[in-house]
Amino acid sequence: MEQANMRLVLASKNQKKLAEMNDILSHLGIQVCSEAEVGVDVEVEETGTTFEENSLLKARAVMEASGLPAIADDSGLCVDALSGAPGVWSARYGGPDLDDAGRYRLLLENMRGQSPRTAKFVSVITCCFPNGDVLTARGECPGTIAFAPMGEGGFGYDPVFFIPALKKTFAQLTPEEKNAVSHRGKALERFKQKLEEYLAGK
């Protein structure tokens, strides 16, 4: 793809997501910047029941507030033995008093004695342009829930999300290794293809 030289505002305060997106998109001349860098601070109530709905809510709100193309990732962990929970509620699992470690400890607690331990991470990327155009891409990464946290890298549920083929949790991978297999990495690869087609058609 040709260098796009485009700036997208990320609808999130999560610095780790910002870094992961820039790692993947910067090769194309796409710079992802934070809301703070363009002087907006948008609180979006995630009222949707799907990753697609929440991703669109976030990207549209930041595009409208900034007047610039905005990109959002709505993501989460879906555990088979828990009927897909925590799913779209991954960031809010266990209520507002828990931090990342509290949430994955609660997950391990809820998984005690459960089988299978299969799960998947899902990411839906949405990009909203000021002219009303919208691009969406979804990525999934299958894995299992570990019996105990392992590794120091990443964020969120990374220490308990185990990739059998690599015999490591997400938190034990380098950023490059995680991006190569992750839900967000896959969604962003698809997004890049869609953006290329979109820009070619302009």
Nearest one of 160, 42, 23 to 90, comparing CA atoms: 160
Neighbour tally for 34: CB within 10 Å: 15
Nearest one of 138, 122, 133 to 190, comparing CA atoms: 138
32 to 61, contacts with ligand IMP by CB under 6 A?
46
In angstroms, rounded to a whole number, what is the distance separating the alpha carbons of residues 97 and 99?
7
Residue closest to ligand IMP (Cβ)? 156
- Of the residues 23, 41, 73, 74, only one is catalytic, namely 74
- In three-state secondary structure terms, 151 is coil
Please, what is the minimum distance in Å from the beta carbon of residue 120 to ligand IMP? 11
Binding mask 113-132 for ligand IMP (x = CB under 6 A): --------x-----------
* By the rule CB under 6 A, 159 interacts with ligand IMP: no
8 Å CB contact between 133 and 198: yes
Residue with tokens 């890298």: 153
Please, what is the minimum distance in Å from the beta carbon of residue 2 to ligand IMP? 29
* By the rule CB under 6 A, 76 interacts with ligand IMP: yes
Q: Which is nearer to ligand IMP, 130 or 190 (CB)?
A: 190
**Which span (23-31, 62-70, 111-119, 156-164) binds ligand IMP, by CB under 6 A?**
156-164
Angle, CA of 63, 53 and 153, to the nearest 5°: 80
* By the rule CB under 6 A, 166 interacts with ligand IMP: no
Pick the binder of ligand IMP from 69, 139, 143, 156 (CB under 6 A).
Answer: 156
Please say if 73 is a catalytic residue: no
Q: Which is nearer to ligand IMP, 7 or 94 (CB)?
A: 94
* Cβ-Cβ contacts under 8 Å for 39 (sequence gap 6 or more): 66
Nearest one of 64, 40, 65, 44 to 54, comparing CA atoms: 44
Active site residues: 74
Q: Note the residues at the interface with ligand IMP (CB under 6 A).
A: 12, 14, 46, 73-77, 90-91, 121, 154-158, 170, 182, 184
